[in-house]
C-alpha cells in the first residue's frame, strides 16, 4: 500500500492529525506525535515567530517539540489530583509487578486471551490470532535459560535470536493492547471531564446573569 493512502486511512480513534505527523515523520523519523504534542507545536509556533521567520527550524528543537509526552496514565493521574472528579487510570499490574514478564500464562487483567501456546484465543466475540509458527517454538517456562555464552553453533544462535524476537514481539503485542486500552480510558475520561466542565460553565453563566439582574437597577425614566 502506498503512502498516499495514509491520508484516507481511518484509524478511527485519535490519529486526527496525520498530515502534521507525516511531516514530522519525514523530518525526524520520530513520528512521535500526539494531541498534546500538537498543541505544543502550535503554541510554540505562535510564540516562536522569529525562528520561523528565519525559515529554519532547528531539527533538534523540533525533535524536542515533538518529543513524547508523558503517558496517558501520568497525564490523567495528574489531572485527577487537580480535579477530584476525574478518575484515575488504575494500575492494574500492581500485584504482578514483580513477576517476570516472560511467563507463559499471563494474568491479563481483562482476561481477554491466553498465551500459553503462542496462540491468542480471544474470549467473547474477538477474533483468534495465531503467531506465525516459529520453526523453533518458544520453550515456554525455560525462557532465558540459555545464556549467549553457552551457545555455539550458528543454528543455536539463530534459534536464540528467533526466540528472543518472538518474545519481544509477544511482549510488545501485549503492551500495545494495554496501551490502547489506556488510551481509550484516557479519552473517555477527557470526554466526561468536558461534559462536567460544560455543565459547570453553563451554571456559572446563569449565575452571572442572575447577579447582573440583581445588581443593575432598572433605568426607567
Partner DNA sequence: CTTTTACGACGTCATGAGCG
Partner DNA sequence: CGCTCATGACGTCGTAAAAG
62 versus 193: smaller Cβ distance to DNA? 62
Residues near 61 by beta carbon (within 8 Å), at least 6 away in sequence: 51
107 touches DNA (CB under 7 A) = no
Per CB under 7 A, which region of 46-54, 163-171, 193-201, 210-218 contacts DNA?
Answer: 163-171
Strand partners, 129: 120
- Residue 88 C-alpha cell reads as 484515575
Q: Least separation, in Å, of the C-beta of 187 and DNA?
A: 10
Burial of 66 (0-12, 13-18, 19+ CB in 10 A): buried
Which span (1-9, 51-59, 151-159, 194-202) binds DNA, by CB under 7 A?
1-9
Which one of 41, 72, 106, 138 is in contact with DNA (CB under 7 A)? Answer: 72
Write the DSSP assignment of 120-158 as a string of letters: E--STTPPPEE----SS---TT-TT-S-GGG--SHHHHH
Supply angle C-alpha 130, 134, 135, rounded to 5: 145
Question: Of these, 59, 155, 172, 210, which contacts DNA (CB under 7 A)?
Answer: 172
Site for DNA in 175-204 (CB under 7 A): 175-180, 182-184
User: Across the chain, how many H-helices and E-strands are there?
Assistant: 6, 2
Q: For binding to DNA (CB under 7 A), which residues are involved?
A: 1-3, 5-6, 9-13, 15, 17-18, 21-22, 24-25, 28-34, 63, 67-74, 101, 112, 120, 122, 126-127, 129, 131-132, 169-173, 175-180, 182-184
Amino acid at each position: 500500500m502506498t503512502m498516499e493512502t495514509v491520508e484516507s486511512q481511518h484509524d478511527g480513534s485519535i490519529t486526527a492529525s496525520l498530515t502534521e505527523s507525516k511531516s514530522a515523520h519525514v523530518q525526524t523519523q520520530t513520528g512521535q506525535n500526539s494531541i498534546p504534542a500538537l498543541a505544543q507545536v502550535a503554541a510554540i509556533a505562535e510564540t516562536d515567530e522569529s525562528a520561523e521567520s528565519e525559515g529554519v527550524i532547528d531539527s533538534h528543537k523540533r525533535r524536542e517539540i515533538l518529543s513524547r509526552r508523558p503517558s496517558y496514565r501520568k497525564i490523567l493521574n495528574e489531572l485527577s489530583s487537580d480535579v477530584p472528579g476525574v478518575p484515575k487510570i488504575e494500575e492494574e499490574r500492581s500485584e504482578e509487578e514483580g513477576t517476570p514478564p516472560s511467563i507463559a500464562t499471563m494474568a491479563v487483567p481483562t482476561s481477554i486471551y491466553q498465551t500459553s501456546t503462542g496462540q491468542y484465543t480471544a474470549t467473547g466475540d474477538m477474533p483468534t490470532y495465531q503467531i506465525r509458527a516459529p520453526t523453533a517454538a518458544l520453550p515456554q517456562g525455560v525462557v532465558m535459560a540459555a545464556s549467549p555464552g553457552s551457545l555455539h553453533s550458528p543454528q543455536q544462535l539463530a534459534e536464540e535470536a528467533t526466540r528472543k524476537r518472538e518474545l519481544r514481539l509477544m511482549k510488545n503485542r501485549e503492551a500495545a493492547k494495554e496501551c490502547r486500552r489506556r488510551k481509550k480510558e484516557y479519552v473517555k475520561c477527557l470526554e466526561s471531564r468536558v461534559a462536567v466542565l460544560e455543565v459547570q460553565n453553563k451554571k456559572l453563566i446563569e449565575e452571572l446573569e442572575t447577579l447582573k439582574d440583581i445588581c443593575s437597577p432598572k433605568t426607567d425614566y
